[in-house]
Structure 1
Amino acid sequence: MDERVEKTPDTTLHHRILADVENRILSGEWPPGHRIPFEHEFTQQYGCSRMTVSKALGDLVRRGLIERRRRSGSFVAYPQVQSAVLEIQDIRHEVEALGLAYAWRPQGRTLRVARAEDRNRLDLPPRARVLAVTGCHYAGRRPFCHEDRLISLRAVPEAENEMFDDNIGPGTWLLRKVPWSAAENRISAVSAEPEIAATLGIAAGTACLVIERRTWTADQHITQVRLTYPGDRHQLVAAFTPSQSS
């Protein structure tokens, strides 16, 4: 018995639409964030039913190539980022690896004597001085992640005069300037607070991935940072080998 599916005009057009859109995305002709034609525009272009177009677009959504936004249309999806849990990633390199332009936009910079919460974050003695920096990393025109960082001026005194306003975020600057000997990552899922949600361009309460990292050298902490990512755009990956038994 021949179980091959019979090719009909609708199935042929479905695959043609699917292939045409996929090729335009993968070739870079339609970059991440680009709005693709509305369904009625596809039906006119290909002379097919709206059901055929909807099925093709649904397949593209399942492949992770486009995302559909209510009342706004369909857009080329931004690639999902994968970060290694056991490494310190330079956010600038992560963004550029996606083929997108990187930008750092500072929001706040404060020099102060360490508060009680600062001393807890960086295990500092009384009267120690710190630099608090907040800002947002961008991938193309889209917010990538929010950063809230505390730097110990005891460990990194030269940070006091660094403005972090030339598209070089604090993390990139620290990786270039300050050697570290140990680090700790804490990972959690949170609902975006209104202020951070506004910065990231998402609705308050949206699920986000938070990475809290501390680094230190010898016996003193260098920095503690809280990075908040929209949860649907980021994955964490840990590569490891079986532990050796004695």
Structure 2
Amino acid sequence: MRLFKYLFLILLYFSCKQHAQKTVVPAGNKTPAPVRDNILKTAEASINGDHYLIQYTSTYNMYILKNNRDTIFKETDAAADFEFKDFDMDGYKDIRLYYMTNVPGIEGFLLYEPKSKTFKNVLNFQDFPSPVKIGGTQYYYSYHRSGCADMNWTSDLFYIENYQCKKIGTINGYECENSGIKDGIYIAKASGTKQTVIRELPISTIKRYKEYKWGFIADYWQNNYKLFVTAF
């Protein structure tokens, strides 16, 4: 009986010692990124000599991994849809985030920064739904509903500076016989919360365009954005 207890203690000692050993990461190597539970969607791209992987999980988190090792960005309550796309047309793929909301076209924008080889969140980008870049310029315009079953609508002209959107122009369209507001198109220069109307057009103007108000908006901003570069 004593011999049996002695052998049992010896086995228990070596078993505990074995389980107490730590995993050693070789010097110079980085710890691999942890496995995400229940990965629902991924996207990947090679940019500037590096490989980037987006993972979206069942816990509504989004991770961006660089070279399949380092987590360089994490967002909680993240957008369920996304893609790599060179949105600012600088030759490097950015990341566009597409949110499911009651306002169509709400997006997020992670701008690729080539010097640091990472992505940076563009602040207040979600304030400019359905954004479109004006080709050959640094300017963008948006579109969103402003009430009355989309018969009142707004389009803003803006640019991105220091990872923040800055509005410099606005088009407001009214075609709902609003109380106190005459139906029409009101075009204004903008700086912060200040706006100055510089032109008014009849709402019937949009009927001249094949794509209706969206055609008018695209044509106006593409041909007149320079008027708003110096807002005030």
With structure 1 as the length reference, what TM-score do the two structures score? 0.23
- Structure with greater strand share of residues: 2
- Structure with greater helix share of residues: 1
Higher relative contact order (CA 8 A, sep 6+): 1
Which has the greater radius of gyration? 2
